[in-house]
Structure 1
Amino acid sequence: MPCADRRPRRSTAVKALPGAALLGLVLTLTAACSEAGPDSSAHPSAPSAVPGTVPGTAVAYGLPADLTPMLLPAVGSETRLTQGLDGFASLVRDRATRACLSAARVRMPDAPPAMFIRLFEIPDLDHISRQGFSPAAVPGAAPSGPATGATGAADSADSADSADPSDLAEQRRCGKEGEAAAGALQSLYAPLQSRWLTGLGAVEKEASVVAARQGFSDCLAGRAIRADNEQVFFDQVDRILQTADGPAAASAEDHRLGAAYAACMRPVEAAREPLRVTLRAGFVREHEAELEAARKALPERIAELERRYSVRFGVPTED
């Protein structure tokens, strides 16, 4: 599949979605993911979003002058550009699906809006330290349906069970149409980007990175968090967020845990960032023709999609 990280895990609310709504969720989230990422043992699954919340974020509109960091991010701040590209593809998918359903006079299944999905292979520690782990809605995205909150999922499931089979067929057909619209955009960059992200696993084996990771669990322990590694930490975050006493408590915990993670991962990122930058220089040389083709094709295709669907390309910025 071309995720809160790029391999999202289902939250409690997601598990309750009916079939049609789950299709909408999958089309919204998974197409923001690359088809292949770095070794999952090196890059664990990130925690789910705070239950019942899809916050907004500050956004800068327009493409960057240099598209290389957007296509091949190497440092955390650059991943905001990548999030913008993935978010725009999700927005196109959503708009195309809705246009198709509107023409067929069939309602849109309940699903989360298009979101900026972070790359936890390359954590944006400055942003995580302030905002926690939850993704943010892309400006211009339609509001999420009732199935995305902590309540209303059961009612939505009941309505889906009694829906006209022809409506469900149209929802699936239009979902595929939306996927095709986004896929046409993603085909310009996703294969190249996927190879780049896949190759980042090699960085984890470098001695400086291995040494920097040795202090991660002790750093967390100093903040009253017990976790031997990132995956254990993220599992713990998931449990805390899903069992918090309401959205406000979950949001507070999300911010607390995000700040702790950012602080304890800074030595690791200090070791990894220069290695990724060097790795990217070689990757660019090896894939110069393919990269140049993507840099030339994307601005025109994005501009055309902005006109067709009345949306704007934007990237999350510093708050």
Structure 2
Amino acid sequence: MTRHAARCRFALRAAATAAALLLAACSNGAGRPDGAPATPVSPARLTHTLPDDPLTMVLPARGAETRWTQGLDVFVQQAGRVTAAACARDRDTDPPAAVPLAYIRFFDVPDLAFIARHGLSRSAEVPRPTASPRPHPAPRSAAARTARSGPVRDCADEGTAAAAALRAAFAPLQRQWFTAVAALRRDPAVARALAALPGCFADRGVPARDEMAFMGRAEERESSAGPAELPAVERSVGRTYATCMRPVEAVREPARLRLRDAFLAAHADEVRDLRSSLVPNLRAAERRYGLRLSFPAP
């Protein structure tokens, strides 16, 4: 999950960031990075359809599968926020401050089709929870109970504990999976494909030595575009990224699929238990918190 966490800051800023790349290209006559026309597309939408194998939500190997992973991640965060808000209502205080939730990409398993259509960060809107009964608080550690700093902090702690309790069922296995996925960057064939990225980026008007530099370049130019230009520019930059990453994914996705087969076999007991319990636990959480599992869709 390390690369996912490292990307979160970029993903929250990328709407403004991506715009600058197109404007910079236009200023020197290069046109859009990928040379494609700015054709409007319908916004991303939501779906509630679960994968055939619930483990796909936890252990994605294809880019499109990460849409389920993003939805699961947001659902857990929503459970924490519903708990914190209910606590604040009970105490007649303001709920803990929090940035709006968003569906965040997993760039070690990039969803290139989605990125090419909507850009590096634009996605479906996270749905608001429905009204729900007061959820029972999740147990907190003794340290958390004794290190209180007022009702707002207490409610934030209660929300964090609720999210952690829901995530605990799958997080250990998922952390191991994403650690294994990240290690594929050291595979010789993957490394060779990644080494071709700078030339591809440069050919499309974005000088960058790697993925991180590509996003950093976008971040440097984020203030160059106005709001009206953002959607078209985001899509243009997304197409550039997707075009350059396709040769990488042609090598890396088959490697991830083989890796997942081996991973499932090596963790057979945990996989069996989680496969049978994950969806019932999530359905129970939907009822408890007044939520509905939702996933972004193109």
TM-score, normalised on structure 2? 0.78
2:51 aligned to which of 52, 57, 64: 64
1:291 aligned to which of 271, 281, 287: 271
Q: 1-side partners of 2:6 and 2:129: how far apart? A: 21
State the aligned residue count: 255
Measured against aligned partners, the alpha-carbon deviations of 1:188-239 in whole angstroms (never above 9, x if no partner) come to 0011000010012332122221222232111111211111111111111122
Q: Residue 311 and residue 78 in structure 1: after superposition, are their counterparts in 2 closer, same or farther (change >3 A)? A: same
User: How do residues 231-246 of structure 1 correspond to structure 2 at under 5 angstroms?
Assistant: 231-241=212-222, 243-246=223-226
2:60 is matched with which residue? 73
- SS in structure 2 of the partner of residue 192 of structure 1: helix
Contact 1:217 1:228 in 2 (8 A): yes
2:248 aligned to which of 268, 290, 308: 268
User: How do residues 159-238 of structure 1 correspond to structure 2 at under 5 angstroms?
Assistant: 169-238=150-219
Deviation, structure 1 residue 174: 0.8
2:258 is matched with which residue? 278
- SS in structure 1 of the partner of residue 13 of structure 2: coil
- SS in structure 1 of the partner of residue 4 of structure 2: coil
Q: Aligned AA for 1:215?
A: A
Is the counterpart of residue 5 in structure 1 residue 26 in structure 2? Answer: no
Measured against aligned partners, the alpha-carbon deviations of 1:140-176 in whole angstroms (never above 9, x if no partner) come to 259xxxxxxxxxxxxxxxxxxxxxxxxx722211111
Q: 2-side partners of 1:314 and 1:47: how far apart? A: 19
Runs of 4+ displaced beyond 6 Å: none
Is the counterpart of residue 50 in structure 1 residue 15 in structure 2? Answer: yes
Is the counterpart of residue 120 in structure 1 residue 120 in structure 2? Answer: no
Is the counterpart of residue 105 in structure 1 residue 92 in structure 2? Answer: yes
TM-score, normalised on structure 1? 0.73
Q: Quick one: higher RCO (CA 8 Å, sep 6+), 1 or 2?
A: 2
Contact 2:96 2:156 in 1 (8 A): no
Deviation, structure 1 residue 47: 7.3
User: How do residues 303-318 of structure 1 correspond to structure 2 at under 5 angstroms?
Assistant: 303-317=283-297
- SS in structure 1 of the partner of residue 5 of structure 2: coil
Q: Aligned AA for 1:48?
A: R
5+ long unaligned stretches in structure 2:
18-42, 131-148
User: How do residues 81-160 of structure 1 correspond to structure 2 at under 5 angstroms?
Assistant: 81-134=68-121, 136=123, 137-140=125-128
- SS in structure 2 of the partner of residue 59 of structure 1: strand
Deviation, structure 1 residue 257: 1.4
Contact 1:4 1:46 in 2 (8 A): no
Cα RMSD, aligned residues only: 2.5
Q: 2-side partners of 1:47 and 1:292: how far apart? A: 35
Identity of aligned residues (%): 36
Measured against aligned partners, the alpha-carbon deviations of 1:265-316 in whole angstroms (never above 9, x if no partner) come to 0000100000010011110000011112222222222111111221101111
Which deviates further from its counterpart, 168-177 or 228-237?
A: 168-177
- SS in structure 1 of the partner of residue 6 of structure 2: coil
